[in-house]
């Protein structure tokens, strides 16, 4: 992902609206591009300070960190990373199960026909 694509996806990242694939390349770019990291912090700050003013009942925001936008952005990035990692793990388990069942199937054919 380049900076232009990254910037186009910032709003959807903040709304947790990126697909896992998009999220993964978004996070990779974020790790290595300081300009985009800065851009994300600014947009996050603007977005959250507008939204949260009339959003006092949001129980998901812990009070202590409600106005600590840096902290909340870090949490969002960490949660996103955890999400991507858990999807990758789940997919590799599914792939492994597929390989095992394909192997069993081929062995069964072999036993039946040879
Ligand atoms: Zn960038």
DSSP string of the chain?
Answer: --HHHHHHHHHHHHTT---HHHHHHHHHHHHH-HHHHHHHHHHHHHHHHHHGGG-TT-TTS-GGGTT-HHHHHHHHHHHHHHHHHHHHHHHHHHHHHHHHHHHHHHHHHHHHH-
**Distance (Å) from CA 36 to ligand 1 centroid:** 4
Which sequence spans correspond to the domains of the chain? 3-80
Ligand 1 center to 33 CA (angstroms)? 5
Ligand 1 centroid to Cα of residue 45, in Å, is: 18
> What's the mean pLDDT when you consider all of the chain?
89
Ligand 1 midpoint to CA 91 (Å):
28
The model carries a pTM of 0.75
pLDDT tens per residue, range 71-84: 999 999 999 999 99
* pLDDT at residue 72 in the model: 93
């Amino acid at each position: 992902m380049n900076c232009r694509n990254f910037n186009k996806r910032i709003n959807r990242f903040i709304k947790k609206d990126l697909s896992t694939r998009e999220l993964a390349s978004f996070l990779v770019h974020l790790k290595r591009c300081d300009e985009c990291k800065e851009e994300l912090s600014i947009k996050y700050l603007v977005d959250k300070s507008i939204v949260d003013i009339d959003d006092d009942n949001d129980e998901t925001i812990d009070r202590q960190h409600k106005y600590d936008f840096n902290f909340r952005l870090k949490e969002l990035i960490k949660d996103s990373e955890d999400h991507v990692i858990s999807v990758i793990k789940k997919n590799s388990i599914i792939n492994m199960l597929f390989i095992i069942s394909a192997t069993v199937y081929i062995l069964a054919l072999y036993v039946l026909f040879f």
